Structure 1
Amino acid sequence: MSFDSLGLSEPVVRAVQELGYTSPTPIQKQAIPAVLEGGDLLAGAQTGTGKTAGFTLPILERLSRSSTGHESGARAARPVRALILTPTRELAAQVEASVRAYGKYLKLKSTVLFGGVGINPQIEALKRGVDLVVATPGRLLDHMQQKTIDVSRLEILVLDEADRMLDMGFIHDIKRVLAQLPKKRQNLLFSATFSDEIKALADSLLQAPALIEVARRNTTAELVTQTIYPVDRERKRELLTHLIKTRNWFQVLVFTRTKHGANRLAEQLTKDGVSALAIHGNKSQSARTRALAEFKDGTLQVLVATDIAARGIDIDQLPHVVNFDLPNVPEDYVHRIGRTGRAGATGEAVSLVCVDERQLLKDIEKLIKRAVPQEVIPGFEPDPTAKPEPIQPRRNQGGTNRQPRSDQSRPQPARAKEPASGRAAPRAETRGGQTSDANRVDTKRVDAKRGDTKRSDPKRADARRPDSTRPDAKRADPKRADAKRPDSTRPDAKRPDAKRGAESDKHGRGPARSGNPNAAPGTDTRKPDGRNKRQEMEPRGRDQRASNPGALLGGRSRPSAASGD
């Protein structure tokens, strides 16, 4: 079967033939006619099967058939009619390069949008008018928020490597993108694995889709030789260097679990005399592009990568893939070794497994439904008495914990001002001087909103001493949390008046309470002339002292909070 028999026009077939392709792959034979029919499609295909051409070729064909009204003379009005979403920058660049190559003889324009580079050149390209856009979800949302892209007349949407996008936590971004697209459109979903999450996404996105499954669900490429090398965790790097040098390996793609691990391994291999560079999300886009280019042209012997960064690596004859660390997610193993054995070529996938990773290996073998052969390298026998250690989960790798993007950065809660030097932060107190959580809420402490469990005020030396032994004369009680609340609702409203009088603040904070047992709760015995505490204690005559029964009984009045103290 030839490409022209699939319904593709002469310009498209000519471009494909110039690239050296003479016959379509199995995924292309099924996907191209299905896409040309205009219906939705759910395709299960691993990397290296030719799936990119399986959807780009028919998309270009469909766009070219209806592009008569969008010639160069009407370039300013050229709408975006096809959108391809990919999980990573490298994959986006790779897909857009394929679009340009296949559409070489077509009057169609395309561009790629991803982060890590300036947004202004992308805006200018969109202003000039494009028919097809390849983008990562994050940067696409940036353009949508800035209204620099018009998708109101979109006809075709493609989710490439949808399983990886879900693994990286892009589901919220995808939903936000879908909400801004026209309801009437063709949807194409491609995935290497079919998880329950993928099925749920397909059910919500696709309408009566055609189903294509080239490879069995969650299987590894048949032409890839898989081997497990048991080794102690401390000798993994030494064994890797041994394998590369003794077996004369070139173009070796090595996977690590973390970005820090990738950097460290690349440095160690370089010290061992093996040319190596690391590629991951913390690297600049220029550094990632340069490392990938050197690896593809053979000047770089080893490329150390994390799962996410490796998604755009497309080398037809990549011979070796090494799992320096087994992935935490079994499906990632399928994606990793799918980098080799592409397009009918053979490949070798090697995994260095220590005692910590035995359970991860069991999960992988359960997923792929086969046991991976194991081989012990002489001189690198693992210690049978070694005890497994917990594996630290990877951080900042995306994953399912990725938070949804927002139009604005989430504001940080305001931090409380530090108390002045030598002063304790105010605390609410209840009976016995113990801090009350309920009253603490009433004081509206800012540091409680910070989520900081550490108190900034110094510890009170008398915090645990009973009232009868506490030197009240030396106490400096902070403001009461219930100072502004009606006396009838205070926590001590039902306490004996004598006891309340004994605990009165001697420094004039809070409302005064009568020491008269016959006085009603909440009676304010403060002098009407508003004299302060010292003036209250000064004699002004027998009649005046007698008018203050609280003073005669030893109780001390306090000005109310309304007095401004």
Structure 2
Amino acid sequence: MWNNLSEEVRDLVEAAGFQAPTEVQKAAWEPMLAGENFYMVSPTGTGKTLAYLLPLLEKLETNGQVQAVILAPSQDLAAQIADVARHWAKAKGIKVQSLVGGANIKRQIEKLKGKPELVIGTAGRLNELAQSRKLKLHQVKRLVLDECDRLFSQEQAATTQAFIDRLQQSVSLAAFSATANAEAWAQFEGLREEVFFLDCSQASQALTAKRQHLYLQVSSRKRDDALRRLAQVEGMQALVFVRSIAELDRLKEKLTYRQVPVAVLHSEMTSQDRQNALQGFRQGRYVYLLTTDVAARGMDIPDLPYVIQYDQAEDQATYTHRSGRTGRMGAEGSVLSFVTDRSLRELKKQVPDQAKLEEVFLSQGQVSKEAPVHRDQGTSKSKRGQSQTQKSKNKNKKRKRQQKNKGARRQKK
């Protein structure tokens, strides 16, 4: 496959040190080039972005017309994809523009005058610009739906559909997701007459084989203290998933008070604040990035050692997306879940069947799979043994005295 790339892009592949395409990249290559309509499923961290981006760039022309659109469910994911696309597109002279909500729309309109060939954005902002005729879509040939299950969720389905309806029926569709979602597939299947489903889940398992699934027994009231102690572990850096924004802000306040470097990421922040938090985390300025599921969807943080579930995932699909932030592309990584006896039962249902779930312990600044042996346990046992022995001796002495006294009384009689 790499041999079929243009020379400029192939040079970038070699410079990046890629030895061979991943399974998802090989599977998507021909359908993308042929302009077929398909829905592809592959675990997070298996190279899906390049799976659609590289063949897409091979088809684009430097003619100043928008020929392809990549749709993402969140502003941060769209910005991340745009950064990756610019890196690869620059070699071919392809212009890329990110169009997301939360950013200054006047500046975006001004940048559109630069005539990009590839647009990456969120459905709300794309609809707004298309409605005002600032974004011309008549030359679009290919639409890519990244994190398709999220784009067709109850919250985003109407906005996604509205944008798709703006495109000509001849525009081919390619959808990518980490999980097989029946509802998303049903909606996608109805968009075009000829569509097919590609499942690369099993073929891509080798790329996530070094991802560990761990749990730490901790009561709900002591989870913040567990995070404080984990922050002392050498090399600790983690994306921490919290269920609500209110809890996230409360946790940040507690950890900051205890001098733990921490940043937050959630949907109510401005686009600039989210980018600053992400950049600071990637640069290593923070030990923890506290986030919600929506904000962290599809996020790529190279070589992230830990994902921590402060709050447990609602379902297996959510757990899959969370765990996919670490142990990507064959790298090592650990998903650490805080559990009680009750939540442990639910966690076991969410961990992939082929994965091994292991308990870990936090002791003396280390995360270990071996239960710690406390020194006082042996001492206390010894003391208890000594106490029992002394009690026996005292009983024997008392019994002898009683027998002696009884004998003395008999002699007097």
Structure with higher helix content: 2
- Partner in structure 2 of residue 3 of structure 1: 2
Q: Aligned partners of 2:35, 2:149: CA distance in 1, in Å? A: 23
Give the percent of matched residue pairs that are identical in Structure 1 and Structure 2.
32
Structure with higher strand content: 2
Establish whether residue 153 from structure 1 lines up as the match of residue 139 from structure 2.
yes
Establish whether residue 241 from structure 1 lines up as the match of residue 228 from structure 2.
yes
Q: Aligned partners of 1:104, 1:376: CA distance in 2, in Å? A: 48
Unaligned 5+ segments in structure 1 are 71-77, 382-565
Q: SS at 2:152's partner residue? A: helix
- Partner in structure 1 of residue 99 of structure 2: 113
Superposition deviation, residue 16 in structure 1: 2.7
Superposition deviation, residue 136 in structure 1: 0.8
Q: SS at 1:133's partner residue? A: strand
Establish whether residue 175 from structure 1 lines up as the match of residue 161 from structure 2.
yes
- Partner in structure 2 of residue 96 of structure 1: 82
**Matching residue within 100, 115, 135 for 2:121:** 135
- Partner in structure 1 of residue 248 of structure 2: 262
Question: TM-score, structure 1 length as denominator?
Answer: 0.61
Superposition deviation, residue 22 in structure 1: 3.8
Q: Deviations over 1:378-424 (max 9, x none)?
A: 79x9xxxxxxxxxxxxxxxxxxxxxxxxxxxxxxxxxxxxxxxxxxx
Give the structure with higher Rg (CA): 1
Superposition deviation, residue 298 in structure 1: 1.2
Establish whether residue 164 from structure 1 lines up as the match of residue 150 from structure 2.
yes
* Alpha carbons 1:267, 1:276 under 8 Å: kept: no
* Distance change >3 Å, CA 120–CA 312, structure 1 → 2: farther
Superposition deviation, residue 162 in structure 1: 0.7
Unaligned 5+ segments in structure 2 are 365-370, 372-413
- Partner in structure 2 of residue 348 of structure 1: 334
Establish whether residue 338 from structure 1 lines up as the match of residue 324 from structure 2.
yes
Superposition deviation, residue 54 in structure 1: 0.7
CA RMSD of aligned residues (A): 2.5
Q: SS at 1:348's partner residue? A: strand
Question: TM-score, structure 2 length as denominator?
Answer: 0.82
Q: Aligned partners of 2:8, 2:212: CA distance in 1, in Å? A: 39
- Partner in structure 2 of residue 361 of structure 1: 347
Question: 1 or 2 for the larger relative contact order (CA 8 Å, sep ≥6)?
Answer: 2
Q: SS at 1:308's partner residue? A: helix
Q: Aligned partners of 1:217, 1:254: CA distance in 2, in Å? A: 29
* Alpha carbons 2:32, 2:52 under 8 Å: kept: yes
The one-letter amino acid of 1:299's match is R
**Matching residue within 112, 119, 125 for 2:111:** 125
Superposition deviation, residue 30 in structure 1: 1.9
**Matching residue within 21, 25, 28 for 2:25:** 28
1:356-505 equivalences in 2 (<5 Å): 357=343, 360-361=346-347, 363-365=349-351, 368=353, 372-375=357-360
* Distance change >3 Å, CA 327–CA 166, structure 1 → 2: farther
Q: SS at 1:321's partner residue? A: strand
The one-letter amino acid of 1:56's match is L
* Alpha carbons 1:192, 1:218 under 8 Å: kept: no
Superposition deviation, residue 263 in structure 1: 1.5
Q: SS at 2:97's partner residue? A: strand
* Alpha carbons 2:230, 2:362 under 8 Å: kept: no
Q: Deviations over 1:339-382 (max 9, x none)?
A: 000111010110002366356435524x7576733346579x9x
- Partner in structure 2 of residue 413 of structure 1: none
Superposition deviation, residue 217 in structure 1: 10
* Alpha carbons 2:68, 2:141 under 8 Å: kept: yes
The one-letter amino acid of 1:374's match is E
List structure 1 segments (4+ residues) > 4 angstroms apart after TM superposition.
Answer: 217-220, 367-371, 375-379
Superposition deviation, residue 164 in structure 1: 2.3
* Alpha carbons 1:11, 1:105 under 8 Å: kept: yes
Superposition deviation, residue 46 in structure 1: 2.1
Q: Aligned partners of 1:166, 1:250: CA distance in 2, in Å? A: 35
Q: Aligned partners of 2:298, 2:36: CA distance in 1, in Å? A: 28
- Partner in structure 2 of residue 53 of structure 1: 50
Q: Aligned partners of 1:290, 1:301: CA distance in 2, in Å? A: 15
Aligned residues: 364
The one-letter amino acid of 2:8's match is P
* Alpha carbons 2:236, 2:287 under 8 Å: kept: yes
* Distance change >3 Å, CA 218–CA 28, structure 1 → 2: closer
Establish whether residue 279 from structure 1 lines up as the match of residue 276 from structure 2.
no
Q: Aligned partners of 1:188, 1:14: CA distance in 2, in Å? A: 26
* Alpha carbons 1:218, 1:334 under 8 Å: kept: no
Superposition deviation, residue 80 in structure 1: 1.6
